[in-house]
A and B are shown apart, each in its own frame.
Chain A
Amino acid sequence: MFASVPSATILGAEGYPVVVEVHVGGGLPAFSMVGLPDESCREARDRVRAAIESTDRSWPQKRIVVNLAPPRHRKVGSGLDLAMAVGVLVAAGDIEPTAVRGLGFVGELGLDGSVRGVPGVAPMVGVLGELDVVVPVASLAEARVAARAGVRPVAHLSEVIAALTAEAPWPDHDESTTTTPHDQVPDLADVRGQPVPRRALEIAAAGGHHLLFVGPPGSGKTMLAQRLPGILPPLDRETALRSTMVHSAAGIPLPPGGLVRRPPFRSPHHTSSLVSIVGGGSSAMRPGEASIAHGGVLLLDELGEFPVGVLDALRQPLEEGAIHVARANSRAVLPARFLLVGATNPCPCGGGAPGECQCDDVRRQRYLRRLSGPLLDRFDLRVAVHRPGIDELIDGRGGESSAVVARRVERARAISNERGPLNGQLTGAELDRWAPLSDGARARLRHEMERGRLSGRGYHRIRRVARTLADLDPEPVEIVSESHVVEALSLRTRLGSSAGSAPERVA
């Protein structure tokens, strides 16, 4: 007796179709599973047996072989439970083989027969193509996003059996019960004072510039960074789908409606491991924080405290917008195009007004050395954040709301979209073409370079930011003027020069 039931497993942020073949034949009662299941998959045997017995069906006292085809890939997770249970029942003759034709099954079983959600339902449903997919009620929303055919939500194995044996129709589960509350994005209007960091957020959002906040503890770096997603435009359809897949694969609760439309915001702690940030690890190649932030913001608070390996690993996604994770027998490409926001203290003690820093040069240099190098080069904007004064905290007026800023951002993005890539990704040649400098602007940049305060790389960064500033003008202009350049220069604080004695780092 043989049954073949379509299901799927996940690798990285992509689903792979798996056919669960079940053979129930003669011999001593036994249950064996082949086809490269991993440990969580192998445990399915006990869950499937208990679940079937909880529905008052008897477990066939025969030799049962489950094959997960194709056997090349390692199968991960408990999402194959439901398909196995159905396969056993079909092979045992409890369900007609014709009843499962045109259906795919994804879901985990509880010992009581309940069908539970698993991470990655969206990509898994996506690869099942034209099949109607039976999914756990908990995963209904994300399944709907990815499904190209029908979706049949179920809460219990008995419902599945009843439907397949035509004893009852497919249950009709209320979708609203599957939604999880989505937290509100904090608003920029809450920020008191801080005009320059606010402006930097607006520029970062409009031009897609990576942003580094440099400031003492308690100056509001994190608070400011959290408000960046609120002024970013909503994700386009393609990015939203990819984000949804990643979120689903990573087991992140999805917003109502299932589709990730708002730019995500991720803020991993600096003790996070390399794998948790770039992805990989188990054979499922779980997406890391960098991928979860795809289309949104990745905040690295206390940038200098992150292990050097983690910061180095971020260079690939910053360049390519994707992370390639390769292991001995599998390879995955995870999307990771995010806006990087770094936050760091200017020195170990936190610094402050001139003369307040207590660190000696050696300590300060050692601290900044961790930040130095190629990663620092990615930040077009390096903004000094200062502790707001008491007056500002108590009497300060809240600034513009996120909605107002978001409108300007959207307008500026519309301008740059006509040109092509975001300003933050413009190359030197593209800058020459799209960001011509006025004479005054050129003279100012020359002055800065002659004084040794601007390097060649810094020159391009300033021009990119100045391009965005020109786009943000109430009357957007094609030629970048001196005031744009000067403002861009003021948004590029130098590190390591908080005390006069410290050697200046040319940035």
Chain B
Amino acid sequence: MTGPEVSDGVPEEAYVAVLAGLSGMGPRRLRALLSHHVPSEAHAVVGGSAPPHPSVQRLLDSRRSGVHLGSTWRAEVARVDPAEVWSRCVRAGVMVVPYGSARYPTALLHDPVPPAVLFVRGDLTVLDRRRVGVIGTRNATRNGIATAEALGADLAAAGVTVVSGLASGIDGAAHRGAVRASGSPAAVVGNGPDRAYPRQHGQLWEEVAALGVLMSEWPPGVAPDAFRFPMRNRILAALSEVLVVVESRERGGSLLTVREAADRSVTVMAVPGSPRSRSSAGTNQLLCDGVAPVTCTDDILMALGLDTRRAGRAAFDPRPAPLGLEVAVLARCRRDPCTIDHVVDELGVTVAEAAMALARLERSGWLGESGGWFEVLEPWAMVP
């Protein structure tokens, strides 16, 4: 083993990217490789120009579907130029975060199958917030799309990071909602983070990467092969504190994510749907199996143990600012609940003026009246 070494101006991360892109290279194998060699050395080992560690030798000798791994990899490594892979990473703004790096998300550190490396666009610190996964079928109903979008927006407004897969259907809708509410979404995708899949989500990818974080286990340039998505789902489940399934068919991919979540003791919740909607068959089955239903965003916030009323919602107050006498009246009401009599007495105005100011404040939602008493309403107590 040698120390970190930069040959031809190519950093160590470039070699990780090359190795992660090899066919048949999964998180377990890559971790085994990198736990015995530094990346450049591992690259050389796989390429056959350096002696492998004994346990790495066993790995290279193993076979996958009848094919000798060592020779497959050697051929692939020979075809790939690390400098080119690196420049692709740099162009796409992709950060390489290997297992053990200081930036590696803590939520994945103790996972049963942690990704050996993450290719990240955006800001990983959004994962330090409370995280809720919102997932579902790609064949969503309009209703499901709307629900996912609303949940995404509400959760984001409450300061929660919405974790999803950026797929079409529910996943994308949840992220759209989060983006709309200027939240900080987190996306885990099943191909290289440089190319949007599905295509029509190109803009959404950029927005998610700009506002939050977009990550993948796979280096730039890796195609969205079907086998990568179940692996992606395990990261998604691992990153979620609560996993919400909005819509899923009776044997949908979302249910695989649910199983991964169950393995990791992540709370699963499901949005109930009509028994006649096939898109809700899976979620309704989940409910039958005993997961908690989601009837509104607060249900999720409660599951997170958040104060549903305060969760960052004061950020935007749509009420018109009080004017003139209303300012003084509102200030008076802030002290303690009061009646018109108090306002008239303490502010020295006429009954008509006081009534007018109180009526305006009540109409614009600043005050609530009950039995002649006026109380200041907090934004969350407003009745729309």
Contact = CB atoms under 8 A, between A and B. Distances in A.
A346 interface: yes
A193 B341 contact: yes
Given A193-B341, A194-B341, A195-B341, A486 B371 contact: no
Given A194-B341, A196-B341, A351 B371 contact: yes
Contact of B371 (A194, A384, A469, A484): A384
B363 A498 contact: no
Interface in A333-359: 346, 351, 353-354
Interface in A464-502: 469, 482-484, 486-487, 489-490, 493-494, 497-500
Nearest to B371: A498
Contacts of B372: 214, 384, 386, 493
A486 B356 contact: yes
A351 B359 CA distance: 23
Interface of B: 336-337, 339-341, 344-345, 351-352, 354-356, 358-359, 363, 370-373, 375
A498 B370 contact: yes
A490 B359 contact: yes
A486 B202 CA distance: 55
A419 interface: no
A196 B344 contact: yes
Given A193-B345, A196-B344, A386-B372, A490 B337 contact: no
Given A490-B359, A494-B371, A195 B352 contact: no
Contacts of B351: 195-196, 199, 487, 490
Contact of B355 (A197, A487, A494): A487
Given A195-B344, A196-B344, A489-B355, 17 more contacts: A193-B341, A194-B341, A195-B340, A346-B371, A354-B337, A354-B370, A354-B371, A354-B373, A396-B345, A444-B359, A469-B352, A486-B352, A487-B351, A490-B351, A490-B359, A498-B370, A499-B371
Contacts of B354: 490
Given A196-B344, A493-B371, A497-B371, A384 B355 contact: no
A392 interface: yes
B346 to A, nearest CB: 9
B257 to A, nearest CB: 42
Contact of A497 (B339, B345, B370, B375): B370
B349 to A, nearest CB: 9
B377 to A, nearest CB: 11
Nearest to A396: B345
B373 A353 contact: yes
A196 B372 CA distance: 11
Given A487-B351, A490-B351, A497-B370, A384 B339 contact: yes
Interface string A373-397: 0000000000010100000100010
A483 B339 CA distance: 18
Contacts of A490: 340, 351, 354-355, 358-359
Nearest to A193: B345
Interface residues of A, number: 31
A194 B372 CA distance: 13
27 contacts: A195-B345, A196-B339, A196-B341, A196-B344, A214-B372, A346-B371, A351-B371, A353-B336, A354-B337, A354-B371, A354-B375, A384-B371, A386-B339, A386-B372, A469-B352, A482-B356, A483-B352, A483-B356, A484-B352, A486-B355, A487-B351, A490-B340, A493-B371, A497-B370, A498-B371, A499-B371, A500-B370
Contacts of A486: 352, 355-356, 359
A487 B352 contact: yes
A195 B343 CA distance: 10
Contacts of A407: none
A483 B356 CA distance: 6
Contacts of A499: 370-371
Contacts of A494: 371
Nearest to B341: A196
Interface string A51-82: 00000000000000000000000000000000
B371 A487 contact: no
A241 B29 CA distance: 113
A484 B341 CA distance: 17
A447 interface: yes
Interface string A73-103: 0000000000000000000000000000000
Contacts of A444: 359
A397 to B, nearest CB: 9
Interface centre among B352, B356, B358 (most CB of A within 10 A): B352
A195 B342 CA distance: 9
4 smallest CB-CB distances across A and B, nearest first, come from A384-B372, A498-B371, A490-B355, A195-B344
Contacts of A199: 351
A16 to B, nearest CB: 51
A405 to B, nearest CB: 13
Contacts of A497: 370-371
Nearest to B363: A447
Interface centre among A214, A493, A498 (most CB of B within 10 A): A493
Contacts of B375: 354
Nearest to A192: B345
Interface string A201-236: 000000000000010000000000000000000000
Contacts of B363: 447
Given A489-B355, A490-B355, A490-B359, A196 B340 contact: yes
A398 B301 CA distance: 54
A197 B341 CA distance: 8
Nearest to B351: A199
A196 B356 CA distance: 13
A392 B345 contact: yes
Contacts of B359: 444, 486, 489-490
Contacts of A384: 339, 371-372
A482 B352 CA distance: 10
Nearest to B368: A500
Nearest to B353: A483
Nearest to A198: B351
A486 B361 CA distance: 12
Contacts of B336: 353
Interface centre among A194, A469, A487, A494 (most CB of B within 10 A): A487
B263 to A, nearest CB: 44
A487 B337 contact: no
Contacts of A386: 339, 341, 372
B384 to A, nearest CB: 12
A487 B337 CA distance: 20
Interface in A289-311: none
Nearest to B340: A196
A447 B363 CA distance: 9
A408 to B, nearest CB: 13
A396 B370 CA distance: 26
Interface string A261-295: 00000000000000000000000000000000000
